[in-house]
Every structure is written in structure tokens, then in C-alpha cells.
């Protein structure tokens, strides 16, 4: 299944190592689950690109088909879906997330 939206998603996933598709923005999340992932990523200190799927209905539906995942947020690292809020939170609590990101060579954000 290829089409303009798939091409767009793949372009976005290739442009950045860590991509978060969420409801709202990191500064103004529009859903508790999206807000939770933003918080986890801030705690881990990783740089990421976020896209607000509320702004783009084609992207929103396209992503559900692309990832075979029905909900948001969706966190991708190096083009692979890591999961939604539950998975990201659980991985963070066990320390798996930090380890995984380091293994993937995703460097932490430089100290401000």
C-alpha cells in the first residue's frame, strides 16, 4: 500500500531519529496519553520531532493504517514504532527506554 500519505509518513520518519505523533503539541498536549509521553521523553532527555495529528486528518488515518495501530500517541525511533503511552511509560519505569535509545544511538538532548 503506497500512496501520497505513506510517502509523507516515510519522509517524516526518515527526517528525524525520534518522531512522536501526538494529539496537540509538546507545549500544549491535547490528551492525557500524549502529555504523558511528552513528559517521559523530557525526563529521558531525548531530542525528537513531533507532529500534531489533530491538524491533519489524512495523516491521522494514514498512520493508523501504516502502523496497524489504532490510537495516538505513537512514538517511532529510527522509523520503527515503539508503541503508545502504555508501552513508553512501562519501558521508562523499567529503565528499558533509556537503554533502548542509547542502543539506537539516539543521543540525549544537550544540556540547556
Partner 1 sequence: MPMSVPELEQLIKGFLPDAEVTIEDLAGDGDHYRARIVSAAFKGKTRLQQHQLVYKALGERMGGQLHALALTTAAPG
Which residues contact partner 1 (rule: CB under 8 A)? Answer: 33, 64, 68-71, 81-87, 90-91
> How many angstroms separate the CA atoms of 55 and 18, rounded?
20
Give the shortest CB-110-to-partner 1 separation in angstroms: 30
Give the shortest CB-102-to-partner 1 separation in angstroms: 18
Enter the DSSP assignment of 24: B
Closest CB to partner 1 among residues 55, 90 = 90
Closest CB to partner 1 among residues 24, 84 = 84
Closest CB to partner 1 among residues 38, 81 = 81
Residues 6+ apart with CB under 8 A from 15: 49
Give the shortest CB-86-to-partner 1 separation in angstroms: 5
DSSP character string of 25-37: -SSSBSSHHHHHH
β-sheet bridge partners, residue 52: 22
Closest CB to partner 1 among residues 32, 110 = 32
Angle at 94 between CA 90 and CA 95, to 5 degrees: 115
Give the shortest CB-25-to-partner 1 separation in angstroms: 20
Amino acid at each position: 500500500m503506497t500512496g501520497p500519505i505513506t510517502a509523507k509518513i516515510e519522509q517524516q520518519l526518515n527526517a528525524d531519529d525520534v518522531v512522536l505523533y501526538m494529539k496537540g503539541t509538546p507545549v500544549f498536549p491535547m490528551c492525557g496519553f500524549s502529555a504523558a509521553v511528552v513528559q517521559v521523553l523530557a525526563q529521558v532527555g531525548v531530542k525528537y520531532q513531533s507532529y500534531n495529528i489533530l491538524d491533519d486528518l489524512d495523516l491521522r488515518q494514514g498512520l493508523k493504517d501504516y502502523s496497524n495501530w489504532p490510537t495516538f500517541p505513537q512514538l517511532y525511533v529510527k522509523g520503527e514504532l515503539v508503541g503508545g503511552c502504555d508501552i513508553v511509560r512501562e519501558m521508562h519505569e523499567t529503565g528499558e527506554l533509556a537503554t533502548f535509545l542509547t542502543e539506537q544511538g539516539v543521543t540525549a538532548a544537550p544540556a540547556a
